[in-house]
A = this chain, B = another copy of it.
């Protein structure tokens, strides 16, 4: 991602943190992470985040999704030190449609990004509105997409090791590069 695009996305993410009344330090605002997953269409498939803390045992992040932006399908496999990352998502602003393993939801309210349908395989929908949350246990597939207002979501988890996440879309590169 080019620096100029990064700065544009970063500024937009800050607007969502304000809508959600999430207070960040100046240092946190300066280093908002923009994940484009290497697909080159960040406003469609992407995620903006601040990592508050990531120790050997606990991680807490604040995520921003723009309207209809999708975090692509992935799972957190067994690691050398545990059975895999466990994540709880708590919605703070907007709506997030979370898809997990289980019976496909009829008339679901979100679809995978156009053209990427082959890389999405779980369609059991859990809809989270502000104050609602859901826990994803290790090694289970999940993906999520914001509704029309976008979303701000707190993530409480065990240690985060993004580089070990397994994406269904093998074209994905999780670790971003800003040129």
Residues of A participating in the B interface, judged by any CB pair closer than 8 Å: 20-21, 23-25, 28, 52-53, 55, 57-60, 82, 86, 88, 90, 92, 130-133, 135, 154, 156-158
Please determine whether B24 and A58 come into contact, CB atoms closer than 8 angstroms.
Answer: no
Please determine whether A156 and B156 come into contact, CB atoms closer than 8 angstroms.
Answer: yes
Query: Across the two chains, which residue of chain B brings its CB closest to A156?
Result: B60
The interface residues of chain B lying within 8 Å CB-to-CB of A158 are: 57-58
The interface residues of chain B lying within 8 Å CB-to-CB of A90 are: 52-53, 60
Contacts A23-B92, A23-B130, A52-B156 given: A57-B86 contact, CB under 8 Å? yes
Query: Across the two chains, which residue of chain B brings its CB closest to A29?
Result: B131
The interface residues of chain B lying within 8 Å CB-to-CB of A86 are: 55, 57-58
